[in-house]
Structure 1
Amino acid sequence: MKIMFKKQGPPPAVAENATFRIRIAQLSAGYAGHPVLHELDADIRALTTTALVGPNGSGKSTLLGVLAGVIQPTAGTLHHFGGRPPAFVPQRGAVGDALPLTVRQTVEMGRWGERGPWRRLTRQDRAAVDSALDRLGIADLAARQLGELSGGQRQRALIAQGLAQESDLLLLDEPTTGLDPEARERIATLLADLVDDGVTVVHATHDLDAARSADACLLLREGRLVGQGHPEQLLTPSTLARIWHFG
């Protein structure tokens, strides 16, 4: 197993194409006694939105965890071509409603990687938090408790936490699940704007409309990569029927 974070340019093997943000080769991963991902080979290009698509149990969340560095591969290589660690936004259900956190405190947690938990924020930290709140349109909710928010507001708060990390790689797990159409559209527009601003976005999704609006898809089934490419070519009715309905 080998994970590499590159702050400089890519190694000679990929020097002819400097647009990669992530390169995965023969990557396997899982949990104790429970393998999940099996020998994945994939490239994720910089300044794109990539959707991870597949049924429940296909390995989408595990792959995000590997890309985020919170799950260690058991085999293979993972190359990050970027200067800062990824920002990881988990599913909304992973953050308990009972936690006595305001929206601003939630977003401030995105600065812990720089400052450490519960330490006084610097002026730069506060500016990053303010920028993220403004970007997500939730500055007016800063004093509200996270558990009081609607699903769409809560998701925007979690994405703002990711943005506050000021990474060039944003990883999101099911960012539109359970949201109404207006909230889903708002999140989709935001992700497209982030790419325009220099952020590479990777998100796991069950929402085929969200997947079709991505620049590229990785299609997973039972922990294996069964397709990668442009959504228009990959997410065809016959392919989706085979992935979801046949064992």
Structure 2
Amino acid sequence: MKIEILEKREDAIRFIVEGVEVAFANALRRTILGDVPTFAVDEVEFYENNSALFDEIIAHRLGLIPLVTPADRFELDALELDEYTVTLSLEAEGPGIVYSGDIKSDDPEIKPANPDIPIVKLAEGQRLTFNAYARLGRGKEHAKWQPGFAYYKYLTKVHVSKEVPNWERVKELAEKRGLPVKETKEELVVTTTKAFYLPREFDEYVGGPIKEEIIPGAFVFTVESNGELPAEAIVATALKILMRKGDKFISELHRLAE
């Protein structure tokens, strides 16, 4: 297996993985979305709410606020989750907009990842008071526990013959997208490390002087974080979970074979 990182930020990572089957690529994607645990609000206890929104709507909005999840404090790759609960409280009075940054946490490390998410607008004399209880959960239980978004595509190379009229435009578009471009006397080769679509004027040449080559066993992954965990930590945790599941499966096979 070979991995090449194309781009890495706190909230996103893009990389090429080579030497794997599509089954592994999809297993990694599904593990990221469904098995990497994060904190999210699971229950809300309202003490006062005379805003324009019902309790249920505010509770739903609170559940979708990403909460920072300190990976160094919790064994996120464990198959069983810790029952640790965090209490988030808020007491606000209008007029004004209540934001996620107004929420107070009894654990300073577990707090809204973005303080600027609006919860509700309070008019003069309206009040909102509640305690919200957050716990670790997984995306396969509810989307509010998904740490972010993950997708992949086949790594391909687009071969454009220089016999194609206006082939220079393809080169210009590829370089504008920041894609690797290799030029020979006969053709232009574009490596699609990002999505790349040719203008419709080239449709009649696709399959002829313009051909797409799929690189066997190579995939371009993009992982974007909601803010609960750094994107790199999401991928690392997902891989550890896959390894633990594999080890558990092998152990069960050996036990049944005895």
Normalised by the length of structure 2, the TM-score is: 0.25
Structure with larger Rg:
2
Higher percent of residues as strand: 2
Normalised by the length of structure 1, the TM-score is: 0.25
